[in-house]
Amino acid sequence: MDALSDVLRVVRMTGGVFLDARFCAPWSIAGRVEPADFKPFLANPKDVIGFHYVVDGRLLARVEDGPRIDLKKGEIILLPRNATHTLASGAEIAPEPASEIVLPPHGAGIHEVRYGGDGEETHIVCGYLGSDGADTPLASALPPMLTLNIAETPGGAWIEQSFAFAARQLANHEAGAASIIARLSELMFVEAVRRFIERLPDDETGWLAGLRDPAVGRALALMHTEPNRPWTADDLAREAGLSRSAFAERFTALIGQPPMRYLTNWRMQVASRKLRDGEPISRIAFDVGYESEAAFSRAFRRERGLPPATWRQQAAAE
């Protein structure tokens, strides 16, 4: 079982493109992906990851006060937490707010921007990956910025050519070009996450390190994809191919909490999302592994401090 793939299957990322931009040096903009950018494509996302693909030229990218990263043609930047970030042609240029430069298009379609001075041109395509699936620890476990050189990925030459081809079609307003880039960006996000996990130090702990571990990763995948199963510690250990004590020790060392405590927390996260979405409490109880609404209500109150119905009313008011 590929634990990362199983967790991403729960997340159900959907890609989209909202901006085709050509910036000429000197230029610098700061902003983040806003709900209005993708509302026509994804009505109510739970998580949003912005991305920028460099079609041609180069740029400097920086997330908040972090280090500047030099990106060139064929590279993509992904922002797992959708943090405010700066894109620029140089380091000492005061950024302009993206909201003043990237204006909504007339009618349907994507934004088109031509901005800057009369120097070197950089062509970028900007988009998002949105999820309306269950919340997972994935985005919070990743750094605020991931970069990937597409040419260095498996099949990189073909993917880079496909990106470039779709970008040219996008500039010519060809039908389907935005969808091609969106699907490719979904693949690139998976590849970027996979490479980040592979580069983690051997002694790293945390959710991503657990995902990399064969036994713990399998247990995480099972808990995330089947939270309604009546899991026990023995069941999870058996699926992981370890004794109960060895599994519990390894899981706790990597994740920071025992497996059944993690499962309860995960079930409450799923239940909270479903409560916000207005689903019936009786259905939620079954979906997160409780045999009755009463048992679920007791567990939810113990974990969240309020009965499910009261919690939902409070969440709606907030």
Q: What is the pLDDT of residues 255-290, one digit of tens each?
A: 999 999 999 999 998 899 899 889 999 999 999 999
CATH number at residue 260: 1.10.10.60
User: What pLDDT does residue 162 have?
Assistant: 79
Q: How confident is the model at residue 93 (pLDDT cuts 50, 70, 90)?
A: very high
Tell me if residue 31 falls in helix, strand or coil: strand
Domain end residue (candidates: 138, 171, 198) = 198
Distances (CA, A) of 271 to 4, 67, 83, 88, 207: 22, 38, 26, 42, 20
Is the pLDDT at 33 greater than 90? The verdict is no
Q: Which of 316, 313, 261, 263 is nearest to 288 (CA)?
A: 263
Instruction: Report the pLDDT value the prediction gives residue 63, as an integer from 0 to 100.
Output: 94
Of 130, 164, 198, the residue that ends a domain is 198
280 and 237 inside one domain: yes
pLDDT > 60? residue 317: yes
What 3-state class would DSSP assign to 130?
strand
Q: Are residues 17 and 160 in the same domain?
A: yes
pLDDT for residue 50? 86
Place of tokens 């999820």: 131
**CATH label of the domain that carries residue 158:** 2.60.120.10
Same domain, residue pair 181 and 237: no
Residue carrying the six token digits 């609404």? 293
Q: What mean pLDDT is predicted for residues 126-138?
A: 71
Co-location of 149 and 242 in the same domain = no
Work out the mean pLDDT of the chain and round it to a whole number: 85
* Residue 171 shares a structural domain with residue 269: no
Position 1 scores a pLDDT of 45
Co-location of 59 and 164 in the same domain:
yes
301 and 277 share one domain = yes
**pLDDT value of position 54:** 92
- Residue 22 region by backbone torsions, left for phi larger than 0, else alpha for psi between -120 and 50, else beta: beta
Domain endpoint, select from 170, 198, 226 = 198
Q: Measure Cα distances from 131 to 50, 138, 204 in Å.
A: 12, 12, 27
* Res 34 pLDDT > 80: no
What pLDDT, on the 0 to 100 scale, is given for residue 23? Answer: 95
What angle, rounded to 10 degrees, do the helices at 259-276 and 293-304 form?
100
User: Which residue segment(s) compose the domain that 274 sits in?
Assistant: 207-317
Q: What's the whole-number mean pLDDT along residues 12-25?
A: 82
Mean pLDDT over 190-204 rounds to 88
Mean pLDDT of 99-114: 73
3-class secondary structure, 232: coil
pLDDT at position 204 over 50 = yes
Buried b (16+ CB within 10 A) or exposed e, 247-277: bbebbeebbeeebeebbbebbbbbbbbbbee
% residues pLDDT > 90 (the chain) = 48
| pTM over cut 0.75 | yes
**Do 44 and 187 reside in the same domain of the chain?**
yes
Give CA–CA dist 255/39, Å, rounded.
35
pLDDT at 216 > cutoff 50 = yes
**How many separate domains does the chain show?**
2
Q: Given pLDDT bands bounded at 50, 70 and 90, which one contains residue 130?
A: confident
Q: What is the pLDDT of residue 132?
A: 57
pLDDT of 108 reads 53
> If we measure between CA atoms, which residue out of 29, 170, 49 comes closest to residue 105?
170
**268 and 300 inside one domain:** yes
My answer on whether omega of the bond before 26 falls inside 30° of 0, hence cis, is yes
Same domain, 223 and 178: no
β-bridge mates for residue 14, sequence order: 130
Q: Are residues 77 and 115 in the same domain?
A: yes
Q: Quick check: 214 and 222 in contact, CB under 8 A?
A: no
Same domain, 279 and 176: no
